[in-house]
Amino acid sequence: MKHQDVPTSTINVGGTIFAYRELGPKTGVPVIFLTHLTAVLDNWDPRVVDGIAAKRHVITFDNRGVGASEGKVPDTIEAMARDAIAFIRALGFTQVDLLGLSLGGFITQKIVQLEPQLVRKIILAGTGPAGGSGIDKVTQITIFDMLRAALTFKDPKNYLFFSQTPNGKKAAGAFLQRLKERTANRDKAISLGAFYRQLRAVHAFGLERPADLSRVTQPVLVVNGDQDRMVPTSNSIDMSKRFPNAELVLYADGGHTAIFQYHEAFVNKALEFLGT
Sites of contact with a second copy (CB under 8 A) = 38, 75, 139-140, 143-144, 146-147, 150-151, 153, 189-196, 199-200, 203
Shortest Å, Cβ 147 to a second copy:
4
Shortest Å, Cβ 191 to a second copy:
4
On the 0-12 / 13-18 / 19+ scale of CB atoms within 10 A, 110 is buried
How many angstroms separate the CA atoms of 175 and 204, rounded? 30
Shortest Å, Cβ 199 to a second copy:
5
Long-range contacts for 136-144 (Cβ within 8 Å, ≥24 apart)?
A: 136/203, 136/206, 136/207, 137/206, 138/37, 138/202, 138/203, 138/206, 138/230, 138/231, 139/199, 139/202, 139/203, 139/206, 141/229, 141/230, 142/37, 142/199, 142/230, 143/199
Q: Which is nearer to a second copy, 114 or 146 (CB)?
A: 146
Q: Which is nearer to a second copy, 55 or 200 (CB)?
A: 200
Rg (C-alpha) for the chain, rounded Å, is: 17
Q: Which is nearer to a second copy, 1 or 147 (CB)?
A: 147
Shortest Å, Cβ 195 to a second copy:
5
Q: Which is nearer to a second copy, 135 or 221 (CB)?
A: 135
Shortest Å, Cβ 200 to a second copy:
6
Q: How far apart are the first and last CA of the chain?
A: 18
Q: Which is nearer to a second copy, 93 or 144 (CB)?
A: 144
